Amino acid sequence: MPTTKHLPDQPIMKYVHPADRLRPWFGLATGLGALVIMLAFGILGRDFGTLKHLQALNDAGGWLTISLIEASAGILALLLAAVALGERIERGVEGPHYISLIRLTARGGFATIAPAVSFDVLKVTTTSVAGEGLVITALVVVQIALLAATIGAFAFMLSSLWATLRVTFVGVPESAPEENEAEESTEVRS
């Protein structure tokens, strides 16, 4: 069983960089921005609150949620590969900041998938709704809110992933050591 003596037994959030604490707020701001824009375009449209509008939203939202679920699943798979760097973590090459960024990215991935799946479940369960009125309007608003939450969570996840990659590649040389040696040997001959 590996030991992690180099990591103190304290909550990981203590090691989160102050800039990284703002990443969830970035996702929230992006989601709120998407909500305002989608509601504005929906209200300005001719069919707001009608069954036709709900069907159009279901069609468009279905493609968006599927895309974001697949992207999030791909990023979560990449995170599993990053966690496979556990040997580097054990040696102390990667510290608590790196681990906290991986956790933030994973939380963003799951936060993206949850509203997207909720949107799809709501879409499937409301296809039998017939007629017009407040029920359709409420469904449109709820589905727009779920899409905005999905977009915001995806922005949060990408922001965290970017920070994780920046920390991962700090100190990594721009080229392979063999290339550097070959360049130096040709410069010495000249």
Return the higher-pLDDT residue of 101 and 80: 101
HSE toward the beta carbon, residue 104, CA cutoff 13 A: 31
Banded model confidence at residue 182, pLDDT cuts 50, 70, 90: low
Q: Token pair 């760097």 is at which residue?
A: 85
- What is the average per-residue pLDDT within 86-97? 66
pLDDT of residue 145: 92
The DSSP output letter for 20 is G
Rg (C-alpha) for the chain, rounded Å, is 23
d(CA 156, CA 22): 9
Instruction: Name which of 30-39, 48-57, 158-167 the model is least confident about.
Output: 48-57
Q: What is the pLDDT of residues 45-90, one digit of tens each?
A: 777 777 777 777 777 777 778 887 888 887 777 776 666 666 666 6
Write out the E strands in 54-180.
none
164 close to 102: Cβ distance less than 8 angstroms:
yes
Nearest to 27 by CA among 67, 72, 62, 90: 72
CA dihedral 58, 59, 65, 67 (to 10 degrees): 180
Nearest to 148 by CA among 33, 22, 68: 33
pLDDT higher than threshold 70 for residue 176: no
pLDDT higher than threshold 70 for residue 42: yes
The pair of structure tokens assigned to 152 is: 């915001």
The pair of structure tokens assigned to 72 is: 């999030």
Banded model confidence at residue 11, pLDDT cuts 50, 70, 90: low
pLDDT higher than threshold 50 for residue 1: no
The pair of structure tokens assigned to 62 is: 């279905």
Q: What is the pLDDT of residues 102-159, one digit of tens each?
A: 888 888 888 888 888 888 878 777 766 656 677 778 888 888 899 899 899 889 988 8
Nearest to 82 by CA among 68, 100, 64: 100
- pTM (2 decimals)? 0.64
Size of the chain in residues: 190
51 close to 130: Cβ distance less than 8 angstroms:
yes
